[in-house]
Chains A and B, each alone.
Chain A
Amino acid sequence: DVKVTQSSRYLVKRTGEKVFLECVQDMDHENMFWYRQDPGLGLRLIYFSYDVKMKEKGDIPEGYSVSREKKERFSLILESASTNQTSMYLCASSLVALGQETQYFGPGTRLLVL
């Protein structure tokens, strides 16, 4: 079974802190994704990566950056956390061509920014 793990289930940070959310997949997938999920808004794509060191912006990249130094690991970085970044963050990975793939999701990290 594909396994996607995220470094924390719950995280509390203060405004202005730098926050790292880590995601690791164990199936040698090329594609990895970061989403945020908010009530009434569904899932929104922040960034995705289709290869090591490659990244593409999604729908809502502002205030975020990402890093993919190794194929299995995709990090989401909040350079200076703000209260409007309080959300559920979901990581996913997939193997096949973009748009046709099955995405495998991690359990999510619920981030609270005070």
Chain B
Amino acid sequence: LAKTTQPISMDSYEGQEVNITCSHNNIATNDYITWYQQFPSQGPRFIIQGYKTKVTNEVASLFIPADRKSSTLSLPRVSLSDTAVYYCLVGLRSSGAGSYQLTFGKGTKLSVIP
């Protein structure tokens, strides 16, 4: 079953590009990779999702190499309001023992510095 690993924290200055990488070595063929953003005292919010190669939307880009064992969330020109915890999520499927697993990473706390 896919487990995900992310850096615990990252610091960045305003205006810089930030790249957060998530490792998911055991990703399954059918798994998609989804990233969420969470502010304090709020539920997570969807940012972007991809299956392979590159996906871009109005807030971020997601890079997934050919082997799909990792993914990188790229935030262009971060601002103070991007300070949050970022989670990567891989798949939801049966563990084969009567339960399901949905693997959220433990999150990366991004701090944007003025």
Contact = CB atoms under 8 A, between A and B. Distances in A.
Interface in A59-114: 59, 61, 90, 92, 98-100, 102-108
B106 A103 contact: no
Interface in A24-48: 33, 35, 40-45, 48
Interface residues of A, number: 27
B99 A99 contact: no
Interface in B30-54: 30-32, 34, 36, 41-46, 49
A56 interface: yes
Contacts of B104: 35, 42-45
Interface stretch (B13-21, B65-73, B86-94): B86-94
Nearest to B99: A57
Q: Report the contact-size class of chain B (Cβ under 8 Å from the partner).
A: 20 to 34
30 contacts: A4-B43, A40-B106, A42-B107, A43-B87, A43-B104, A44-B104, A45-B92, A48-B92, A57-B98, A57-B100, A58-B99, A58-B101, A59-B102, A61-B99, A90-B43, A90-B44, A92-B43, A98-B92, A98-B93, A99-B91, A99-B93, A100-B32, A102-B34, A102-B46, A105-B43, A105-B44, A105-B45, A107-B43, A108-B42, A108-B43
Interface of B is mostly: strand
Interface string B70-92: 00000000000000000100011
B87 A42 contact: yes
A42 B106 CA distance: 4
A93 B10 CA distance: 29
B111 to A, nearest CB: 16
Interchain residue pairs A-B with the least CB separation, the first 9: A105-B43, A42-B106, A57-B99, A43-B104, A99-B91, A99-B92, A98-B92, A45-B102, A102-B46
Contacts of B41: 107-108
